[in-house]
């Protein structure tokens, strides 16, 4: 991967964890910004891995293990596909640095406001990669941090989609607006649907937490709050499903125009 952000010079405390699953591990191995410590794989997983990655360039420990041995390393996780990599959490850029790497003309970013479920956030990373979003902004408080479950759910998204963390959503949105972005919150209670909305060329999609949705403070900061119309027999969509639909619709409107 392109070396966009600087590596940390030394290991941070309590920042290492296991990435598992073929696609997630390959992406981590190919990410020059990712600090890596130890790779374990079965013979079968190794055969697949060496077709995609030049293993000779890595100097860290590489060991063949059985599936059971890898499962033990992962604390009982069984869907590891015979491979796991111990890494350090990514060093994320500050917001302004992050924005410098976004497309200047046409850009879509998603802002995750206090999402706590690893599977949901991982799925959102995967969808962001699928629909070519410029990146993801995550609120620091009451939000999930990078971990094994998130990275597996994201497939290769965590190491391919740039992301940053912010402390104050108000200050963040102020900066985004100064950079020419229009802010759209997604909420089932909104009056206007996503299909009825004409999007500008620089869009931020704001998604609220799994249980409470958009906070009042967040809603007040949006330029517009819109919804995805669904069958009246269903109250709402899972936030990761909402994200995928929104990314598809808005990327078709903004990036394909």
Question: What is the three-class DSSP state of 15?
Answer: coil
Give the mean pLDDT of the chain: 93
pLDDT tens profile 179-209: 999 999 999 889 999 999 999 999 999 999 9
The pTM of this model reads 0.92
pLDDT of res. 12: 59
Q: Over 50: is that where the pLDDT of 2 sits?
A: no
More confident of the two residues 248 and 257 = 248
pLDDT of res. 236: 82
Residues 65, 67, 71, 76, Cα dihedral to 10°: -160
Q: Where are the domains of the chain?
A: 16-88, 95-254
Helices (H), 74-221: 95-100, 118-130, 148-153, 169-178, 216-221
pLDDT of res. 10: 54
CATH of domain 16-88: 3.30.1330
More confident of the two residues 212 and 122 = 122
pLDDT tens profile 14-31: 699 999 999 999 999 999
Residues 63-79 have a mean pLDDT of 96
CATH architecture of 95-254: 3-Layer(aba) Sandwich (3.40)
């Amino acid at each position: 991967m392109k070396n966009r952000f600087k590596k940390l010079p030394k290991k941070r405390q309590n920042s290492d964890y296991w990435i598992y699953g073929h696609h997630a591990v390959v992406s981590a191995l190919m990410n020059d910004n990712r600090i890596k410590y130890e790779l374990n794989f079965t013979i079968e997983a190794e055969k697949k891995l060496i077709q995609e990655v030049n293993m000779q360039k890595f100097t860290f420990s590489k060991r063949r293990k059985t599936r059971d041995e890898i499962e033990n390393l992962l604390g009982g996780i069984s869907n590891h596909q015979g491979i796991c990599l111990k890494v350090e959490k990514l060093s994320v850029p500050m917001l302004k640095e992050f924005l410098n790497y976004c497309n200047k003309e046409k850009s879509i970013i998603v802002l995750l406001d206090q999402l706590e479920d690893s599977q949901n956030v991982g799925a959102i990373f995967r969808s962001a990669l699928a629909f070519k979003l410029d990146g993801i902004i995550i609120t620091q408080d009451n939000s999930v941090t990078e971990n094994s479950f998130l990275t597996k759910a994201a497939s290769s998204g965590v190491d391919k989609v740039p992301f940053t963390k912010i402390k104050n959503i108000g200050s963040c949105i102020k900066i985004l607006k100064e950079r020419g972005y229009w802010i759209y919150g997604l909420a089932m209670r909104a009056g206007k649907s996503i299909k009825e909305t004409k999007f500008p060329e620089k869009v931020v999609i704001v998604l609220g937490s799994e249980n409470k949705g958009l906070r009042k403070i967040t809603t007040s900061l949006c330029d517009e709050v819109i919804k995805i119309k669904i069958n009246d027999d269903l109250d709402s969509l899972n936030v990761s499903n909402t994200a995928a639909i929104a990314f598809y619709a808005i990327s078709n409107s903004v990036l394909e125009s």
